[in-house]
């Protein structure tokens, strides 16, 4: 599957399903459940039995020969039937044990049947009993799984099984069909018979994302299907037939692929159209924002205490933002239970409560900022969005709960500025990278509107690494490293300290740095500067010790790049199926001074190098020396974050070439033959 | 509820099956469950915990400020109190009451303040209570409705009836205190209490009591701790106490032994009759297990028929190898454990019919099959954490089951390497039928050097598990390269892996598709080349355990040799690394290697025309007793020859040997990174 476009990260169209509906009415007509007539098994073809490799999926551990899901909301069942050809040991491990999750109390798994067919046609029926396994029980909710293991599965076997999820009469569970599986699917059939709302005269009630009662009166579905595939709607329900469905490839730096996977989502709704849904839900959301963020007297007093009459708009906003940043953000500490809030006589109803208790969730803090900005006279709005590392807004699926995070927009001098107050220590006027380039819904003066959040530019994420080092004649290294970070990297470390503590962060920083500097070098983070000051760069200072370089009889060799000497190129795999999401653009600069001890002279410096990938990336390295000091300058800049899979070879090539350049060596000559270097340390006497 | 059912477990960690887990599940093991619990607790909007609740006296007493040892200043949390009371009724049934009070010192310490109590069909949880004190001094008592139950979820275990009750207590922040108490019935067959008084974080005070019926007996054994005499606080009621126990934090320790092989513990055996000591106690435990398992190995005629068909007519080793191969290839690892099923295997007949079972099931079926072809075998209870099973600590505790195959008197075969001789004089071959990638005759490295309980009826005993010779586990890398004037390196590489150390690589490759195998090689090469293209790539003998695992591939690496003026710098150690990453911190715990072995490299790099070798790295020769390392680069006839051999002879070193090991590693690292210099003529 390929993206239709690279930016923005958004799915077309928009709109909350009531995933489950409780049925209540005196007019209900309870449909009789017929006995579950045992269907026959499928006779495997000689080709299927003989298959050892599937030409349609040459690397597959197994393939679905056929998969079928039939759901009937009138009869309250969801049947699954699967025929899987096992092609490798991995396939055997993957598909021999079956675990079917379900919610205990309101549903059960029944009619489990199965058989294993060996490549020679021998049939081994499943005669065991599935076990009911409790996964999690909390209060009245009990998540269970039926588990069973298919008998005598071998490579070459066909595993065939079916079962039925039966749910209670007063529950309706329109299906979310995941068309793409973990392995290739040759043929699949999906069928859904929805509740006949008109004929049964049932009323489906539920709650929307804002706790409002809803009454569903129609069925909607959202199809994300292969090109040319259509859902057939008939008197007997909805049918979908698909062939040759590739699996979802798992690759590093992939966008949230679940948001792109082929799927068919059915749900009951009261929405007349998508537009209508998002408008109405947006209205409810906006009303809730306004209620919570209402600049009450307490908020106004707080703002008045923060601002000075002479402040400019920019100063006002900065002061408000700074005040909001002092509030404990429970996303990074611990969400308190209601009992704790009660114990502390705290309540969370409005922004004023958050301000008073100096604690809130990320969304509550975002709304607090909006409230205070409004109190200061700004036109401030909320925007709801997803997290780019987890999901994208799926426009055709009418489910507001996709929008999990809140950011803020403030109009300053006629121009909208974006803020991320829910991300503690995010820079003023910036968004966390996971909130950039995303579809979102924002408040406007007249209601709500769909927007795309701004993208970051590489200047937002700058890192400068400097090292001042001295190499002694015996190869010992001493010095100091200073790393100054702005943007995403600074935010990552600041938030890590919030979640753990500075001591742990130092340890983690050491580990990160240690993995990149040359062998023999030891780095110890001594301190962070500006951990809580998001308005300035975060500085990390580390001491350097240990040894540097290797030797031959005449020469000493030093890694020409200090900070990336052991770093591995970003991508190893020669081929790529998914697009690439490198999260945020950046520019990183290194400046390293290495003073050589007397007796060490430079024989050769690497040539300056430039690896361009116009217009998206650039790498440069240059080396020089003055008297006894070697100087290294290195720069890498990435101007884009999202790349098509067809761009992958170019991207991989860029990072590999940059990595190769980072492996250059500096050649020194020694004039003191008696000196020993680290290579001698391990030698026996 | 999602109506899609595509999620399923992947059975890759087949060795993690519990034989009998330690009775005290450690906090770290529960993090996943705790996460679920915390999520759910958040979802359910807990609102029931009462504030300023009356806390039990023991909680209040333990929470009283006590000065802590200075060296604990950076601890994440501290157990202020752990207190276990085991009450044994005259009918032998035992009930364990456990109490814990944990103070959170750092945010990461929350993981240790996650109350939990494990229970199952045979281990009924009678009560569970949680209290906490916020950093602001508020007192909370949680209610039953706030607790969450989480089912066991172990890799490879399809079904286990063990569950955990847990909670996400209020006030669990740095400075806060969390306390809990559980009362659990021990399984009726259990006659051993366990006191795991050492934790990952420090423990201020820990106590264990056993209250026995009149006339009953107890005998305590200690692991990694000197014997401590109990106080008899009431008739036949004994109490042990420990104070100021350091934690064992291995999170950043390279080459660390397994945590449970280091943490001190005490096991107390109790019975109506006098409890034997030492070897006699091992024999008693082994005999008990033998009586429990032996009936399960009685196979039917179908097993016997299959065994004879599989084994054929060869000699002892030939028949054994064929049955072993059948077990390794044909019987899938699937754990189904209910009640005593954590210990007792399923009937061999069931395992044979279904073609699956867990470690003890596999051992049982193999015992039955071997019996049918005239070979006697029995069970050996072990733990995959080398050192956990200890001769001085007789106990049923362990997490894995393997087997001992009796070798006929006078029979010799060079393939019989993992051999022990019991006190009876019988020779046994130790074999792990659960591991599909270590051939019969050898032993997986995680078991080598440990101990096991040979369950052989009255002849049961604890036995040492052999450490195989370093030349049994070998990796040979050979390569021929040609270097171009522009620095491009091209060549073919062959890697041969012999012995038990190859099992992980075999296991990974056996599961991989061709594409995934190629990606694996690419990932390995990424350690050695910044830029490269993998050409041909072939893997052979993944499943043929009597053959070395062979990987052949070709590479092209542009700019491998770095230009420096008229010089070309070439790293003669082109691929592969034998170095372990060590730190420079003071070493407190023993050094544990994965396995002993021999690693050899033999690389030729043909230098480009117009260049001559100007300088090569010095040879390296190190002998530190437990290991030797020899490496040499020679230039001959336009070719750089790199040859090295690293032999590791010991599995475990004392902490005091860390300095020597660091020197060795430094020599290896330097050698691996050294360059030869080619000069343009």
CA distances, A569 to each of A613, A646, B602 (Å): 16, 19, 27
Identify the domain boundary among B232, B260, B275: B275
Q: Determine the Cα–Cα distance for residues B496 and B540; give it in Å rounded to an integer.
A: 10
* Rounded (5°) CA angle A661-A664-A668: 155
- What averages of pLDDT result for each successive group of 10 residues across chain B (681 residues)? 24 28 34 42 42 87 88 94 97 96 96 95 95 93 94 88 94 96 94 96 97 97 96 97 96 95 97 96 98 94 96 96 96 93 95 95 98 97 96 95 97 97 98 96 96 97 97 96 96 96 93 90 91 94 94 94 87 93 91 96 96 93 98 95 97 97 94 92 87
Q: Which of B86, B87, B89, B66 is nearest to B78 (CA)?
A: B66
- Assigned domain for B1 exists: no
Selected residue of A110, A138, A246 to mutate for chain B interface (largest B Cβ count, 10 A): A138
User: Is the model's pLDDT at A176 over the cut of 60?
Assistant: yes
Q: Which residue of B has its CA nearest to A95?
A: B8
DSSP E strands: which ranges in B212-324? 217-223, 231-234, 237-245, 265-271
Q: Is the CB of A551 less than 8 angstroms away from the CB of B618?
A: yes
Residue B325 CA: distances (Å) to CA of B321, B435, B544:
6, 11, 10
What's the pLDDT at B218? 97
A594: closest CA of chain B, how far (Å): 18
> Which residues, 6+ apart, have CB-to-CB distance to B363 below 8 Å?
B345, B379, B401, B402, B403, B433, B434
> Percent of chain A beyond pLDDT 90?
73
* Interface touch A678/B666, C-beta < 8 Å: yes
DSSP-based three-state secondary structure for B529: coil
Cβ contacts of A572 on chain B, cutoff 8 Å: 519, 522-523, 525-526
Å from B259 to nearest chain A CA?
A: 21
Spell out the residues 6+ positions from residue B676 whose beta carbon is closer than 8 angstroms to its own. A552, B569, B570, B571, B572, B613, B615, B616, B617, B633, B635, B640
CA distance B530 to A570: 10
Residue B347 sits in the same domain as residue B485: no
Using the beta-carbon criterion (under 8 Å), do B615 and A95 form an inter-chain contact? no
Predicted local distance difference test score (pLDDT) of residue A16: 28
**Which residues of chain B have a CB within 8 Å of the CB of A684?**
621-624
Residues B238 and B380 in one domain: no
- Beta A538-546 vs A521-529: how paired, if at all? antiparallel
Least confident of A135-149, A217-231, B29-43, B123-137: B29-43
Within-domain flag for B665: yes
Q: Is the pLDDT of residue A552 over 60?
A: yes
In the Cβ-directed half-sphere of B270, how many Cα atoms lie within 13 Å? Answer: 31
Beta-bridge partner residues of A189: A68, A241
Chain-chain contact of A334 with B134 (C-beta, under 8 angstroms): no
Q: What is the C-alpha separation between A408 and A287, in angstroms, rounded?
A: 15
Count CB pairs under 8 A between chains A and B: 298
**Residue B3 maps to a domain:** no
- As a whole number of Å, the end-to-end CA separation of chain B is 75
Residues B389 and B256 in one domain: no
Predicted pLDDT of residue A569: 82
Please indicate, yes or no, whether residues B312 and B188 belong to a single structural domain of this protein. Answer: no
Tally the domains of chain B.
3
The pLDDT value given to residue B52? 67
- Pick the residue from chain A with its C-alpha nearest to B48: A339
Contact A682 B668 (CB under 8 A): yes
Q: Which residues of A touch B616 (CB under 8 A)?
A: 552-553
Of A92, A342, A573, the CB nearest to B522: A573
**pLDDT tens digits, one per residue of A177-196:** 999 999 999 999 999 999 88
Q: Examine residue A615 and say whether the peptide bond preceding it is cis (omega within 30 degrees of 0).
A: yes
Nearest CA in chain A to B676: A552
Residues B542 and B661 in one domain: yes
Cross-chain residue pair B47–A662, CB shorter than 8 Å? no
**How confident is residue A92, by pLDDT bands cut at 50, 70 and 90?**
very high
Q: Other C-beta atoms within 10 Å of A574: how many?
A: 14
pLDDT at position B22, please?
Answer: 31
CA B391 to chain A, closest CA, distance in angstroms equals 36
> What is the model's pLDDT at position B28?
35
Examine the domain organization and report whether B293 and B370 are in the same domain: yes
Give me the phi and psi of B485, to 5 degrees please.
Answer: -60, -25
For A318, the 3-state DSSP assignment is helix
Model pLDDT, residue A201: 67
**Could you tell me the pLDDT band of residue A572, with boundaries at 50, 70 and 90?**
confident
Reported as a pLDDT band with limits 50, 70 and 90, residue A206 is: confident
* Residues linked to residue A634 through DSSP beta bridges, in sequence order: A590, A621
Tell me the chain B residues in contact with residue A606 when contact means C-beta distances shorter than 8 Å: 562-564
Give the CA distances from residue A536 to residues A366, A464, B640, in Å, rounded to whole numbers and listed in that order: 21, 13, 53
Question: Are residues B486 and B451 part of one domain?
Answer: no
Helix, strand, coil percentages, rounded to 5, for chain B:
25, 35, 40
Host domain of residue B525: 474-680
- Residue A439's φ and ψ, nearest 5 degrees, are -70, 140
B458 belongs to a structural domain:
yes
Length of chain B measured in residues: 681
Q: Which residues of A touch B347 (CB under 8 A)?
A: none
Round to whole Å and give the CA distance between B331 and B326.
7
Residues of B whose CB is below 8 A from A177: 4
For residue B626, being part of any structural domain is answered with yes
Give the β-pairing of B489-498 and B627-636: unpaired
Would you say B168 and B187 are in contact if contact means Cβ atoms under 8 Å apart? no
pLDDT of residue A159: 98
* Token pair in block for residue A326: 């002092």
The CATH number of residue B667's host domain is 2.60.120.1130
Distance from CA of A571 to the nearest CA of B (A): 9
Of B1, B563, B669, the CB nearest to A519: B669
Which pairing describes strands A263-269 and A218-224: parallel, antiparallel, or unpaired? antiparallel
Q: Are residues B201 and B70 in the same domain?
A: yes
pLDDT at A26 over 50: no
Cβ pair A667:B48 closer than 8 A: no
- Tell me the backbone φ, ψ of residue A383, rounded to 5 degrees: -135, 140
Q: Which of B111, B249, B238, B120 is nearest to B188 (CA)?
A: B120
Q: Where would I find the beta strands (DSSP E) of A367-489?
A: 379-385, 405-412, 415-419, 439-443, 448-452, 462-471, 477-485
pLDDT at A100: 96
Pairwise CA distance, residues B632 & B627, whole Å: 17
Distances (CA, A) of B418 to A354, A640, B500, B638: 67, 58, 11, 46
Q: What is the pLDDT of residues A240-269, one digit of tens each?
A: 999 999 998 889 999 998 888 999 999 988
Determine phi and psi for B39, rounding to 5 degrees.
-60, -45
CA distance B207 to B175: 24
Average pLDDT over residues A535-550: 94
Q: Pick A374 or A552 by higher pLDDT.
A: A374
A33 pLDDT more than 50: no
Nearest to B42 among A154, A335, A511 (CB): A335
Closest residue in B to A685 (Cα–Cα)? B622
Nearest alpha carbon to residue A20 among A137, A170, A146, A201: A170
Residue A99 has which token pair? 């675990």
**pLDDT reported for residue A550:** 84
How much is the pLDDT for A209?
A: 74
Average pLDDT, integer, range A591-609 = 93
A421/A418 Cα distance (integer angstroms): 10
Strands B611-615 and B562-564: what pairing?
unpaired
DSSP bridge partners of B149: A137, B165
A78 contacts B134? CB cut-off 8 A: no
In this predicted structure, the answer to whether residue A15 has a pLDDT above a threshold of 60 is no
| Residue of A346 and A224 predicted with greater confidence | A224
Query: Which two three-digit tokens encode residue A332?
Result: 């990074």
Residue A310 structure tokens: 């002479």
Contacts of A26 (CB under 8 A, 6+ apart): none
Q: Is residue B8 part of a domain?
A: no
Domain-ending residue, one of B409, B435, B464: B464
For chain A, the first-to-last Cα distance in angstroms comes to 62
Q: Which residues of A touch B434 (CB under 8 A)?
A: none
Report pLDDT digits (tens) over A623-654. 999 989 999 999 999 999 999 999 999 999 99
Residue B9 lies in a domain: no
Residues B511 and B408 in one domain: no
pLDDT at residue A515 is higher than 80: yes
Angle between helices A313-325 and A297-306 (to 10 degrees): 110
Q: How far is A593 from chain B (nearest CA, A)?
A: 19
Quick check: A19 and B526 CB within 8 A?
no
pLDDT at A36 over 90: no
Check residue B18 and give its pLDDT.
Answer: 31
- The alpha carbon of residue B466 and the mean position of all alpha carbons in its chain are separated, in whole angstroms, by 17
Environment class of B259 (CB within 10 Å of its CB; exposed 0-12, middle 13-18, buried 19+): buried
H-assigned helices in A326-376 = 338-343, 351-357, 362-375
Q: Is B454 within a domain?
A: yes
Question: pLDDT value at position A672?
Answer: 54
Q: Kindly determine whether residue B677 and residue A552, on different chains, have CB atoms separated by under 8 Å.
A: yes
As a whole number of Å, the CA-based R_g of chain B is: 29
Quick check: B353 and A151 CB within 8 A?
Answer: yes
CATH, residue B383: 3.10.620.30
Q: Which two tokens stand for residue B222?
A: 């200690």
The answer to whether residues B105 and B218 belong to one domain is: yes
Residues B286 and B409 reside in one and the same domain: yes
> In a 3-state reduction of DSSP, which class is residue A580?
strand
Structure confidence at residue A164 as a pLDDT band (50, 70, 90): very high
Q: Which domains does chain A have, with CATH numbers?
A: 21-270 (2.60.40.3140), 278-455 (3.10.620.30), 459-670 (2.60.120.1130)
pLDDT of residue A24: 30
Q: In what order do the strands lie in the sheet with B676-680?
A: B562-564, B567-570, B676-680, B611-615
Mark which of B239, B255, B275 sits at the end of a domain. B275
Same domain, B118 and B74: yes
Q: How far is B218 from chain A (nearest CA, A)?
A: 37
**In the numeric block, which tokens belong to residue B591?**
């050094």
Closest CA to A190 of A41, A64, A4: A64
Contact at CB, A551 and B170, closer than 8 angstroms: no
- Reading the block at residue A92, the tokens are 């055997």
């Amino acid at each position: 599957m390929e993206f239709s476009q690279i930016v923005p990260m958004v799915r077309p169209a928009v709109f909350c399903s009531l995933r489950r509906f409780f049925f209540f009415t005196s007019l209900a007509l309870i449909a009789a459940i017929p006995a579950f007539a045992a269907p026959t098994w499928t006779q495997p073809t000689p080709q299927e039995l003989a298959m050892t490799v599937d030409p349609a999926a040459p690397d597959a551990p197994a393939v679905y020969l056929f998969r079928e899901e039939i759901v009937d909301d009138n009869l309250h069942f969801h049947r699954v039937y699967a025929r899987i050809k096992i092609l490798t040991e991995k396939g055997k491990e993957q598909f021999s044990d079956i675990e079917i999750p379900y919610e205990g109390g309101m549903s059960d798994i029944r009619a489990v049947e199965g058989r294993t067919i060996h490549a020679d046609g021998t049939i081994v029926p499943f005669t065991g009993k599935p076990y009911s396994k409790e996964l999690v029980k909390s209060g009245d909710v009990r998540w269970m799984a039926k588990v069973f293991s298919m008998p005598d599965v071998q490579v070459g076997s066909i595993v065939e099984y079916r079962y039925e999820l039966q749910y209670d009469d007063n529950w309706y569970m329109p299906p979310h069909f995941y068309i793409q599986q973990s392995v290739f699917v040759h043929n699949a059939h999906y069928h859904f018979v929805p509740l006949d709302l008109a004929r049964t005269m049932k009323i489906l009630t539920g709650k929307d994302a804002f706790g409002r009662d809803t009454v569903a009166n129609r069925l909607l579905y959202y199809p994300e299907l292969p090109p040319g595939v259509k859902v057939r709607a008939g008197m007997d329900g909805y049918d979908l037939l698909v062939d040759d469905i590739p699996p979802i490839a798992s690759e590093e730096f992939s966008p949230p692929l679940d948001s792109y996977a082929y799927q068919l989502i059915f749900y009951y709704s009261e929405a007349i159209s998508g537009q209508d849904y998002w408008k109405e839900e947006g209205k409810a959301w906006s009303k809730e924002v306004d209620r919570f963020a209402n600049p009450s007297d307490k908020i106004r007093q707080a703002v008045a205490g923060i601002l000075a009459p002479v402040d400019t708009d920019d100063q006002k906003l900065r002061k408000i933002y700074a005040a909001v940043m002092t509030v404990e953000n429970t996303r990074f500490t611990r969400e308190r239970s209601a009992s704790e809030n009660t114990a502390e006589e705290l309540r969370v109803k409005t922004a004023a409560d958050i301000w008073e208790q100096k604690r809130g969730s990320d969304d509550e803090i975002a709304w607090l900022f909006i409230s205070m900005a409004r109190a200061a006279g700004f036109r401030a709005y909320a925007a709801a969005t997803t997290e780019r590392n987890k999901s994208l807004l799926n426009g055709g699926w009418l489910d507001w709960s996709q929008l999990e995070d809140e950011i803020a927009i403030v109009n300053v001098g006629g121009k909208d500025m974006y803020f991320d107050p829910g991300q503690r220590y995010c820079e003023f006027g910036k968004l966390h990278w996971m909130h950039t380039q995303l579809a979102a819904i924002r408040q406007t003066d007249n209601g709500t509107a769909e927007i795309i959040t701004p993208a970051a530019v590489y200047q937002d994420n700058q890192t400068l690494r400097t090292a001042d080092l001295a190499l002694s004649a015996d190869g010992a290294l001493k010095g100091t490293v200073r790393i100054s970070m702005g943007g995403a990297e600074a935010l990552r470390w600041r938030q890590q300290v919030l979640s753990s503590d500075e001591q742990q962060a130092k340890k983690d920083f050491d580990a990160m740095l240690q993995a990149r500097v040359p062998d023999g070098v030891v780095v110890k983070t001594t301190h962070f500067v500006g951990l809580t000051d998001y308005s300035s760069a975060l500085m990390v200072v580390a001491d350097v010790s240990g040894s540097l370089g290797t030797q031959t009889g005449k020469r000493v060799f030093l890694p020409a790049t200090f900070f990336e000497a052991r770093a591995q190129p970003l991508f190893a795999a020669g081929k790529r199926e998914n697009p690439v999401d490198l999260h945020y653009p950046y520019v990183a600069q290194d400046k390293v001074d290495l003073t050589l001890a007397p007796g060490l002279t430079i024989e050769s410096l690497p040539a300056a190098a430039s690896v361009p990938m116009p217009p998206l990336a650039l790498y440069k390295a240059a080396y020089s020396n003055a008297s006894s000091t070697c100087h290294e300058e290195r720069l890498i800049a990435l101007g884009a974050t999202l790349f098509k899979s067809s761009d992958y070879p170019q991207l991989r090539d860029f990072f590999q070439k940059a990595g190769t350049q980072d492996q250059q060596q500096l050649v020194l000559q020694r004039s003191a033959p008696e000196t020993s270097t680290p290579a001698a340390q391990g030698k026996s006497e | 509820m999602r109506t899609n059912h595509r999620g399923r477990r992947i059975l890759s960690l087949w060795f993690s099956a519990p034989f009998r887990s330690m009775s005290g599940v450690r906090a770290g093991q529960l993090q996943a469950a705790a996460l679920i619990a915390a999520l759910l607790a958040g979802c359910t909007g807990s609102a029931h915990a009462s504030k300023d609740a009356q806390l039990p006296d023991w909680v209040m007493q333990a929470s009283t400020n006590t000065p802590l040892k200075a060296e604990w200043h950076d601890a994440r949390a501290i157990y202020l109190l752990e207190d276990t009371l085991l009450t044994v009724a005259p009918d032998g049934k035992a009930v364990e009451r456990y109490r814990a009070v944990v103070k959170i010192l750092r945010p990461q310490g929350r993981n240790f303040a996650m109350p939990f109590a494990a229970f199952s069909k045979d281990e009924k949880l009678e009560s569970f209570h949680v209290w906490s004190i916020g950093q602001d001094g508020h007192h909370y008592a949680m209610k039953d409705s706030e607790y969450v139950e989480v089912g066991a979820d172990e890799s490879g275990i399809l079904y286990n009836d063990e569950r955990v009750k847990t909670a996400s207590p209020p006030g669990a922040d740095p400075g806060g205190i969390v306390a809990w108490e559980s009362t659990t019935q021990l399984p009726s067959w259990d006659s051993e209490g366990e006191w795991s008084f050492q934790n990952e974080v420090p423990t201020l005070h820990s106590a264990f009591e056993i209250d026995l019926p009149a006339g009953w007996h107890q005998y305590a054994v200690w692991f990694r701790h000197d014997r401590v005499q109990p106080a008899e606080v009431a008739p036949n009621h004994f109490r042990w106490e420990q104070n100021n126990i350091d934690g064992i934090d291995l999170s950043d320790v390279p080459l660390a032994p397994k945590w449970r092989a280091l943490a001190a513990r005490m096991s107390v055996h109790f019975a109506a009759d006098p409890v034997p000591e030492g070897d006699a106690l091992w024999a008693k435990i082994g005999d008990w297990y033998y009586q429990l398992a032996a009936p399960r190995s009685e196979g039917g005629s179908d097993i016997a028929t299959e065994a004879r068909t599989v084994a054929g007519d060869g000699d002892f080793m030939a028949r054994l190898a064929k049955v072993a191969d059948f077990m390794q290839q044909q019987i899938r690892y699937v754990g189904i454990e209910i009640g005593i099923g954590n210990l007792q295997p399923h009937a061999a007949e069931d395992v044979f019919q279904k073609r699956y079972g867990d470690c003890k099931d596999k051992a049982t079926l193999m015992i039955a099959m071997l019996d049918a072809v005239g070979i006697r075998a029995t069970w050996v209870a072990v733990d995959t954490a080398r050192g956990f099973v200890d001769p001085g600590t007789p106990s049923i505790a362990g997490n894995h089951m393997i087997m001992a195959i009796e070798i006929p008197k006078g029979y010799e075969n060079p393939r019989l390497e993992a051999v022990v001789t019991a006190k009876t004089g019988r020779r046994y071959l130790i074999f792990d039928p659960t591991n599909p990638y270590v051939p019969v005759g050898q032993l997986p490295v995680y078991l080598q050097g440990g101990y096991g309980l040979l369950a052989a009826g009255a002849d049961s005993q604890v036995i040492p598990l052999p450490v195989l010779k370093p030349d049994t586990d070998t990796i040979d890398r050979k390569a021929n390269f040609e270097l171009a004037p522009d620095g491009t390196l091209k060549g073919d590489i062959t890697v041969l892996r012999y012995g038990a150390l190859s099992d992980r690589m075999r296991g990974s490759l056996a599961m991989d598709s061709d594409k995934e195998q190629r990606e694996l090689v690419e990932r390995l090469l990424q350690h050695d080349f910044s830029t490269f293209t993998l050409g041909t790539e072939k893997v052979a003998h993944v499943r043929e355990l009597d053959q070395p695992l062979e990987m052949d591939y070709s590479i092209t690496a542009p700019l491998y040799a770095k230009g420096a003026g008229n010089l070309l710098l070439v790293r003669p150690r082109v691929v592969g690394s034998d170095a372990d990453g060590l730190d420079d911190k003071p070493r407190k715990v023993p050094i544990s290697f994965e396995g002993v072995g021999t690693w050899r490299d033999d690389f030729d790099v043909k230098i480009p025309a117009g260049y001559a070798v100007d300088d090569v790295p010095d040879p390296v020769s190190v002998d530190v007793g437990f290991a030797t390392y020899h490496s040499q680069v020679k230039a001959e006839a336009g070719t750089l020859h790199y040859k090295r051999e690293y032999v590791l002879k010991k599995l475990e070193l004392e902490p005091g040997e860390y300095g020597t090991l660091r020197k060795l590693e430094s020599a290896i690292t330097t050698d691996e990174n050294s360059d030869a210099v080619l000069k343009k003529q």
